[in-house]
Structure 1
Amino acid sequence: MNNNSIKRTDPKQAVIGFLIFLFPFISLITPFGIGLSSFIFLVAALFFLKPGFAALRRHWPAIRWVVIFFAFNFFYTLACFALRGQELGDLEKPARMLFAVSAMMLVMATKPDRKALWWGVIGGAFVGMLLVGYQRLFLGEDRPGGLLNAITFGDIALSLGLIALASMIDVRAVRKVFWPAIGALAGLAASTMTGTRGGWLGLVLCGLLFIQHSHVLANRRVRAIVAFTFAFMAATYFVPETGVRERVRQGVVDITTYFSGGSALTNVGVRLELWKAAGILIGDAAVLGRGETGYRKVLEPLVQEGELDPVVLTMPHFHNEALQALVTGGVVGFAAWFGMILAPFAFFTRAISVKNASRQEFATALAGILLVTSYFGYGLTEVIFWSLKGALFYALMVFLLMGFYLNAKDAGQQPGPV
């Protein structure tokens, strides 16, 4: 008992736990929180290289495909940089996404309490809701996003809410389910107030996953809270002040206008025109793509010929992850992007399918599945990986959840209460 007490108060675990708490907590309320956390995890991992690499080698059969695809994404970008003469800055995002593996190594080497992550997620969703709520209700901003882009803010807030939902499985005492429930509702409310429609697709996919894996939810009350949370999101459609119904109505009008030969200068119309442009470009450079800037040289004559609306030249990306990857990186680039989605999804899906697993294993695995699925959903109408913050949040959270899952698997015992 004394040894366990010493272990729980280990200073290095407390420090690393605090750093892990800070990552989701400050992700929405600062413009630098995600990038700073990425740097801190990398530096901190340098102090635990030996145990970190030992843990990496021990679990390599389980994690190899996730690490390989993140590495493949970096090295393919590096090859494109060398062959196409792209800007050096193009390497930053894939490099930092790969270096996010340091977060997993740090977790496996020091074995901090997973409660740090759960509380950071809950707190981050809550303070994020307060920030956009203030901007929406008191400053009158139609598309608030804190100090981030509104779409990036809304997507990350929704991911925090979904992870908070998963954390309820890791709670022993029913009365303590209250806090994860608050985090889940806060994340959903924050996302709703940003007016981000793309997140709704991710939410629908995640709802289907909750139904599929409902057997892992701890008890009836937890199931009721999950059902209430999704019902709450659906109910926002009927509350005019949320703007959800108006955004849906406007989307339908935009689609009808576009396909009837009307203007493409609407939110949805621009996306449809961009997808049309992507379809034209993909066939001309299917294997290796045209790079992040090279495709614009092909778009300009198409616009001049009247085949595409000039609005496509004003947009930074194609508002679809798969199309963006195919246009800029070809089939190889698409494989790199899809691998970073599919490999973590496969890892967490195998994890949640293990029989007689602990609550901690179920919680971290389900949180990982929801994170990956939500990001895939965002990517249907947005390029969330275009944003460095969006891409780093995904990579760091994937590797943190993998690390905590592997720690739980090693422990082979039920976790303590939140």
Structure 2
Amino acid sequence: MITLNRVWVFLFAALLIVVPWGYAAIALLALGSLVIWVALNPRRLTCFRSLDKDDIGLCLVLLLFGGLWLLDVARTGHWPVGQGNQGAGLPFWPLFAAALLVSLRLHPVTPRVLWAAVSVGALGAGSIALYERLILGHARAANGMNAIPFGNLSLLLGALSLMGALWCLRGPSVQQRVLLVVALSGGLAGMVGSLLSGTRGGWLAAPLLLWVIYRAARGVLPLKLLNRLAAGVLIVVTVIVVMPQSGVRERVALAVSNVDDYWTQDVRGTSVGLRLEMWRAGGQLFVERPLLGWGEGALEAARDNQVREGAFHSGISRYDQLHSDVIDTAARRGSLGLVTLLLLYGVPIWLFCKRTRVPGAGAEIRLVAAAGMMVSVAFIDFGLTQSMLRDARGLSGYLGLLIICWAVLKQCQSPPIAAALSREGG
């Protein structure tokens, strides 16, 4: 089972935005292997008692978020839609994640698997972005999906790859030198993929993620070397930004122009203008039903009624979400839903953060903890301008990377629970 989990973890992160349906197929295969293992080894369920209160707390947060979402579906009779009708199963993903978290705690994977997986995934994303922009001439790299989650996840995978490069610098072995090259390449490729996707919201997260990496690196690298490497990364990113082929300057200028037109000339049909309209609509709908919200399906109907009354631009009716996880969740599931969302963000940050401050914690533990914290921080930022958790790859990416980082961290902290399994026989 340990070997299987290593395979699932590697394939999930490596194929997350590279292979269509890879995110779903790998997760379901991992869940299926867990069910088979439980069926064949019912006596080993006693090892579930080895889970600590933090494991249980994180599982409860996942169950609470998914459970309330399912209740919302039950009361309205509507399922999420999502791009390409891929959203119908979204409420189940947090429940699956809780089960897979337990599986990864019972049969943990090593940090090397995590760093290799995210690095290969970032390399794949960056390569696809270069091919689509430079060879195919696409306006935005997207790999057949929404360009926003593609760019955001590419950036996150790249940032995690750079964290993996720091982990590799701790040891001189040949294997770690090879992984170091892959991780550094993945870090650069992930940032390139994000820039070429034209995802402006993700670019706001880039400085924050780089700052987290810089802080984590201070315990691994000499300060002078660290500052030189940081300067090198900034130079590379700056060169990419100013290149006309990247389209970054044009996208930023367009966003500034859209905001100015919205506030000074009441032009609401632009890309940014429609976002502002959706946020206004969501805020108004939340005020009308602050406790439980409007629910799946009913939110869209209420929004469209307001559009017909002329309160908002008709263009917002084209979307099945409000382009903000906080606003969409508050309007759709009210204050209760908002609390579950804040727990989904906040509890992992707290759990990872407190392990970076444990006296005597080694560099390995601090790096993995910082990586886990980075996943939540990144999605908070991504969710400011896009409903990432209503996108199939966005939600599965957040939950998957989160529980993988958590399981790897716990494996670094203490002897694997799998050792207890072997002692119990079979």
TM above 0.5, yes or no, is yes
| Alignment partner of 1:120 is 2:117 | yes
Cα drift, residue 149 of structure 1: 1.6
Q: Which amino acid aligns with 1:271?
A: R
User: CA separation in 1, counterparts of 2:103 and 2:234?
Assistant: 34
Residue 55 to residue 166, structure 1, CA distance change in 2 (3 Å): farther
Q: Which shifted more, 236-245 or 200-209?
A: 200-209
Report what 1:181 is aligned to: 184
Q: Unaligned regions of 5+ residues in structure 1, if any? A: 1-11, 413-418
Q: Report Cα offsets for 1:193-241 as digits up to 9, x if no partner.
A: 1111111122232234335444333445456435533443344332222
User: CA separation in 1, counterparts of 2:133 and 2:116?
Assistant: 25
| Alignment partner of 1:205 is 2:208 | yes
Q: Which amino acid aligns with 1:18?
A: V
Give the percent of matched residue pairs that are identical in Structure 1 and Structure 2: 23
Q: Report Cα offsets for 1:289-343 as digits up to 9, x if no partner.
A: 0012112332233223322111121222111110001110000111111211111
Q: Unaligned regions of 5+ residues in structure 2, if any? A: 82-86, 417-426
With structure 2 as the length reference, what TM-score do the two structures score? 0.87
In 2, are the aligned partners of 1:345 and 1:372 still within 8 Å (CA)? yes
Which of 270, 274, 277 is equivalent to 2:274?
Answer: 270
User: CA separation in 1, counterparts of 2:377 and 2:161?
Assistant: 15
| Alignment partner of 1:195 is 2:184 | no
Report what 1:103 is aligned to: 100
| Alignment partner of 1:336 is 2:340 | yes
With structure 1 as the length reference, what TM-score do the two structures score? 0.89
| Alignment partner of 1:70 is 2:74 | no
Q: Report Cα offsets for 1:78-121 as digits up to 9, x if no partner.
A: 22233333349877212222211333333332333331221111
User: CA separation in 2, counterparts of 1:377 and 1:277?
Assistant: 21
Residue 253 to residue 197, structure 1, CA distance change in 2 (3 Å): same
Residue 231 to residue 348, structure 1, CA distance change in 2 (3 Å): farther
Cα drift, residue 169 of structure 1: 3.0
Cα drift, residue 47 of structure 1: 4.5
User: CA separation in 1, counterparts of 2:136 and 2:144?
Assistant: 14
| Alignment partner of 1:139 is 2:136 | yes
Report what 1:6 is aligned to: none
Report what 1:37 is aligned to: 26
| Alignment partner of 1:60 is 2:52 | yes
Residue 324 to residue 231, structure 1, CA distance change in 2 (3 Å): farther
Cα drift, residue 357 of structure 1: 1.7
In 1, are the aligned partners of 2:51 and 2:105 still within 8 Å (CA)? no
In 1, are the aligned partners of 2:268 and 2:277 still within 8 Å (CA)? yes
In 2, are the aligned partners of 1:254 and 1:269 still within 8 Å (CA)? yes
Report what 2:295 is aligned to: 291
Cα drift, residue 63 of structure 1: 2.5
In 2, are the aligned partners of 1:341 and 1:372 still within 8 Å (CA)? yes
Residue 170 to residue 143, structure 1, CA distance change in 2 (3 Å): same
In 1, are the aligned partners of 2:65 and 2:94 still within 8 Å (CA)? no
State the secondary structure of the residue aligned to 2:328: helix
Cα drift, residue 66 of structure 1: 2.0
Residue 207 to residue 283, structure 1, CA distance change in 2 (3 Å): same
Residue 63 to residue 218, structure 1, CA distance change in 2 (3 Å): farther
